[in-house]
Amino acid sequence: MKRRGGLTVGEVAERSGIAVSAVHFYERKGLIASERNDANHRRYSPTVLRKIAIIQVAQRAGIPLREIADAMDFLPPEAKVTVKHWEMLSTRWTDELDDRIARLKRLRDGMAGCIGCGCLSMDTCKLVNPDDKIGANGSGPRYLEDDAPLADDPYRT
Partner DNA sequence: TTACTTCCTCAACTTTAGTTGAGGTCAAGC
Partner DNA sequence: GCTTGACCTCAACTAAAGTTGAGGAAGTAA
Q: Which of 54, 63, 72, 75 binds a copy of itself (CB under 8 A)?
A: 54
**Does 11 contact DNA by CB under 7 A?**
yes
Q: Report the nearest approach of DNA to the CB of residue 103 (Å).
A: 17
Q: Report the nearest approach of a copy of itself to the CB of residue 48 (Å).
A: 9
**Does 71 contact DNA by CB under 7 A?**
no
Hey, CA dihedral for 77, 49, 96, 98, is it positive or negative? negative
DSSP 113-124: HHTTT----TTT
Integer Cα distance of 128 and 119 in angstroms: 9
30-49 residues near DNA, rule: CB under 7 A: 38-42
Integer Cα distance of 123 and 120 in angstroms: 9
Q: Which of 20, 27, 37, 50 binds a copy of itself (CB under 8 A)?
A: 50
- Tell me the one-letter amino acid at 153: D
**Does 39 contact a copy of itself by CB under 8 A?**
no
Q: Report the nearest approach of DNA to the CB of residue 65 (Å).
A: 3
From a copy of itself, DNA, none, interface partner of 118 (C-beta below 5 to 8 A by class): a copy of itself
**Does 65 contact a copy of itself by CB under 8 A?**
no
Alpha helices in the chain (DSSP H): 9-16, 20-28, 47-60, 65-72, 83-114
65: Cβ contacts below 8 Å, ≥ 6 apart: 26, 29, 31, 55, 59
**Does 61 contact a copy of itself by CB under 8 A?**
yes
**Does 97 contact DNA by CB under 7 A?**
no
What distance separates the 2 farthest-apart alpha carbons in the chain?
A: 75
